[in-house]
Structure 1
Amino acid sequence: MKKAIYFLLPLFALLTARAYAQDPRPNMQGTPKGAFYQKFTNNTGEKIKLNDVITFNFIQKTDKDSVLFSTYKSGKPVQAQIQPSQNAGDLMEVFPLLAAKDSALVKVPTDSVFKGHEEARPPFFPKGSYLTFILKIEKVQSLNDAIAEKKAEAQKLKDGEAAAANNYVATNKINAVTTASGLKYVVTQPSVKRKPLAGDTVLVNYTGRILNGKVFDSSIAAEAKSASLDQPGRTYEPISVVLGQGQVIPGWDEGLLLLNEGSKATLIIPSALAYGEKGAGQDIPPYSTLLFNVELVKVKPGKHAPASKTGIMNPAKKKVYRKTPVSKKKN
């Protein structure tokens, strides 16, 4: 009998140690799916409900306190609609415990995050470790209120786009030609060589900016380096585009057809001929007028489409101006 008791003692100790190890801090509470949380505040406002839209800031860390991401550093909080929780990592079990202006610490076991795909587990998240979130709920809205606010913000951007573009042209004293579609362009280096036709392949060097001067992409090494663009593996050379095939945004398709081989120009492209109401990633906001300094390096004759009766591209057909993703700045 004593032998049985002695045998059970170390087993009990082992099980107790394992159970305690699951809780990263004794004063934290657990959720049904295995996350742990500690509220720093307890505001008296109404708690977050299913389908609410929350705006929140967060810092994401490893067990060793290394910061992986911070919305404070990025300068922009994130939004999420509250849905039924699918796993511990979506934090949907924790959000309904909070109210507006509440803050909390949440620890998610990485064993649950990488369950079923251990090959994706990075070295800084060993088995038994936790992914840490420090959250602050900035705003809580009903779904209808959030949609209405988004629409109002979008309309404000849309209404201000033309004024901002015109102000840019006036401030910088750009003597641009405006086409029927709204594209503005100015030739900065003329050429007497041939113009391309729809169906021709053109080689183009370019640098793209938004109106505040921020460079979001370039095919030119010196320009990319000057703007601290992060373009790993990028080959800096003119890109190849078949015109009139929808391979590029409408503003490029239209603007490049106006240039001669060997010429350089600045294209001022309204969002209706670019990325419209959606924008493109973090670098190109919705309703952004884009500035491209382009050089039409070479024209290669191709199959020519029948001439359009109107000569105006359909602005509703929005494509990226090149196949590779828009580059991002280094942090």
Structure 2
Amino acid sequence: MKHVIFAVAGLALLSTAACKVNYDKTKSGLPYKVVSSKGGQSVVPGQIVKFNVEFKLSPKDSILNTTYGKFPGYTPVDTGKNTEYTFIELFPLLKVGDSVEFTMSIDTLKNRGMIPDYDSIFTRNGQIKGKLSILGAFATQDLAKNDMDKEMEREKAREIASIEDYLNKKGIKAQRTRNGAFVEITTPGDPNLKADSGKLAMVMYRGYLQDGGTVFDTNMDTSKGHTDPIPVVVGTRRVIQGWDEALPYFSKGSKGKIYVPSTLGYGMRGAGQDIPANANLIFDIEVVDVKDAPPAQPQQQGGNPFGNLSPEQMKQLQEQMQQQRQQQQGAQPQQAAPEQKK
């Protein structure tokens, strides 16, 4: 998890040789080069800056994280000590419309305590490439929020279009829910026992990424350590929104798939190491039973990544949130903690 957080937070590097050509350095020694300047307004402390950023691990230039073509980052402009040797330190040196390449040494990160130790990702003498583009700067939180809302709608449209393209290429016929999840029913089940809002549905599931097929959790086999159906009181916001909208299309005995855009799943924060930010998800679903929900029916806690968490999962989530708060205090963008619907 620490690897993901550090990557998202912007520990980006270029090659040492490239740093010797037309590169300036920040006060902390971060090498950078402005590659495009539009002559826009200067970025000043106190503003909220909108940006795209990308990080590639050298020498193969494999992408660690990118916001290009996705939801952009927003963060306050800060000149505090905690921004030293991060891309946040570059903001006051740039204008809206600027793009910049920057580098950081993994050895320097290790010496500064910004990574815990060398490993298979952060290797001794290693380097990561970074690219940053300044898209806008806002004087108030309200102005930034208005812009974020517009970007969220654009991101939602991109995600839904991606799912529609996926379905069309595979010739899959699916129904769209109110806000853009898609439901494919392969076995209809009992129409008299619908998993309507307020009903208790017992669900078997297998969840994986749309773009890679990696299974991040399941109770359909023993690979994730739990095989009991999970109880879901439909429509009570105890699960991700995509599930709440899709489950009423199922009945007792129904089988099918749910295609969930990121905005109805785990969004820009992702969930743990297995669900990255802005990831569309697919779930194989079987509803094994539907019945009336008892008053104040509690959610099952063991092994359920969609509602209540086990004590071990809660501890992990708390650690992630604490790391994010520390990063935000250092003007680092947050992207790595899961957001649960409870």
TM-score (ref. length: structure 1) = 0.52
1:97 pairs with one of 93, 100, 108? 93
Whichever residue aligns with residue 87 of structure 2, its letter is: L
Contact 1:202 1:299 in 2 (8 A): yes
Between the aligned partners of 1:276 and 1:42, the Cα distance in structure 2 is 35
Structure 1 unaligned spans of 5+: 1-20, 166-171, 208-214, 218-226, 285-289, 309-318, 326-331
User: Which residue of 1 is the match for residue 61 of structure 2?
Assistant: 67
Paired residue for 2:104? 108
CA deviations on 1:249-294 (whole Å, 9 max, x unpaired) are 477568768865433367799999x55998964124xxxxx98663
Q: Does 1:240 align with 2:229?
A: yes
User: Any idea what the Cα deviations from partners look like across 1:172-205, whole Å, max 9, x if unmatched?
Assistant: 99898x99xx999896534469959989672424
Q: Is the 8 A contact 1:187 1:266 kept in 2?
A: yes
After superposition, residues 121-270 of structure 1 pair within 5 angstroms as 121-123=118-120, 125-127=122-124, 129=125, 131-144=127-140, 145-154=143-152, 189-191=187-189, 202-205=202-205, 216=209, 228-231=212-215, 236-237=220-221, 240-244=229-233, 247-249=238-240, 252=243, 261-264=252-255
* Alignment CA distance shift 1:146-1:30 (3 Å): same
Give the 5 Å matches for 1:8-19.
none
- 1:278-317 correspondence runs (5 A): 281-284=277-280, 294-296=285-287, 298-299=288-289, 305-306=294-295
SS of the residue corresponding to residue 56 of structure 1 reads strand
What is the root-mean-square deviation of aligned Cα atoms in Å? 5.8
Q: Which runs of 5+ in 2 are unaligned?
A: 1-15, 164-170, 222-226, 271-276, 298-304, 318-342
Identity %, equivalent residues: 17
Q: C-alpha displacement at 1:229, in angstroms?
A: 1.3
Larger Rg: 1
Give the drift of 1:155: 6.2
Q: Does the residue aligned with 2:229 lie in a helix, a strand or coil?
A: strand
Superposed displacement of residue 241, structure 1 = 1.0
In structure 2, what is the equivalent of residue 6 of structure 1? none
* 2:54/2:66 contact within 8 Å kept: yes
**Residue 149 (structure 1) shift:** 2.0
Equivalent in the alignment of 2:9: none
Amino acid at match of 1:243: V
Cα distance change of structure 1 residues 59 and 239 upon mapping to structure 2, 3 Å threshold: same
Per the alignment, residue 331 of structure 2 pairs with: none
**Equivalent residues of 2:101, 2:132 under 8 A apart:** no
Aligned AA (2:136): V
- Number of matched pairs: 262
| AA at the equivalent of 1:116 | G
User: How far off its partner does 1:48 sit?
Assistant: 1.9
Measure, in 2, the Cα distance between the counterparts of 1:183 and 1:101. 35
The corresponding residue for 1:169 is none
Q: Secondary structure at the match of 1:120?
A: coil
Distance 1:149 1:53 in 2: 11
Q: 1:56–1:138: 8 Å Cα contact kept in structure 2?
A: yes
